[in-house]
Structure 1
C-alpha cells in the first residue's frame, strides 16, 4: 500500500546569498502558494501578489501587490513582484502570499533568490 500524498506540500532550503544566510520555505495550498524568504529568521512583511483579472491583454499578465503586514514601501512591492510573479504564472495564475525579510535586496540578490525559490518548487 502506497503512502498517501500529503494534503499540504512544502519544501525548504537554506543558502548563502552574497554572504548572507537566506532561508526559503515554499508551501502549496489548494488556492494559493505561500513563500517565506528570510535573512533574519522571521517572516517579516507579508505581501499578497495576485494576478490582475482586469487585464485585456492575455499575453502580458499584470499583478497586484498588497502589503498585509509590515512596511508598505515601494521597494517592498518591487521585490514582491519580481520574486512572486513567475511562481504565480507557473502555478496556473494562483495568488502568492509572500513573507519577505531581506537584509540585501539588490538586483543580484533577487536573481539568486529566484533560483533558490525555483529549487523549492512545490507547484
Structure 2
C-alpha cells in the first residue's frame, strides 16, 4: 500500500491564443495555492479569502489582497474571477494565487479557469 502524499499537486499546460500557459494547483491543509503563468514565473501573489462578515450566506463575498507585485484593480478582478470557484468548491478555504499573464482578456481568463479545473486537487 502506497502512502498518500501530504501535499497534493497537479499541473497542466495549454496554448491559449498562441501563448503557452501553465498552471500548478497545490492543496495544503488550510489553503489552496494556484500558480497561473504565461511567463514561467509566479508573478503577482494575491490572497483571496472568504469574507465571514456577510450576513447572507447564499452570496459569499471574497476579499483579495496583493501580497507581492503590482496592486492594480484589474489584478483583483482577474484574481477574484479565477479563485472564487476554487474557494467555493474546496469548502470556503482561502486561495493563494500567483498570476503572471501576458493575455488578460475575458475570453482567455475563461479558458484559464477551465485549465485550473483540469488540475483540481481539492
The interval holding the TM-score normalised by the smaller chain is: over 0.9
**1:15 Cα offset (Å):** 0.3
CA distance in 1, matches of 2:24, 2:42: 10
Look up the SS of the partner of 1:37 in the other structure.
Answer: strand
Structure 1, unmatched stretches of 5+, are none
**1:6 Cα offset (Å):** 0.2
Look up the SS of the partner of 2:93 in the other structure.
Answer: coil
CA distance in 2, matches of 1:18, 1:85: 24
Aligned length: 122
Q: Normalized against structure 1, the TM-score is what?
A: 0.99
CA distance in 2, matches of 1:30, 1:101: 25
State how 1:5-16 maps to structure 2 within 5 Å.
5-16=4-15
**1:65 Cα offset (Å):** 0.1
Look up the SS of the partner of 1:98 in the other structure.
Answer: strand
What's the CA shift string for 1:66-114, capped at 9, x where partnerless? 0000000000000000000000000000000000000000000000000
CA distance in 2, matches of 1:74, 1:98: 15
State how 1:105-120 maps to structure 2 within 5 Å.
105-120=104-119
Moved over 3 A (4+): none
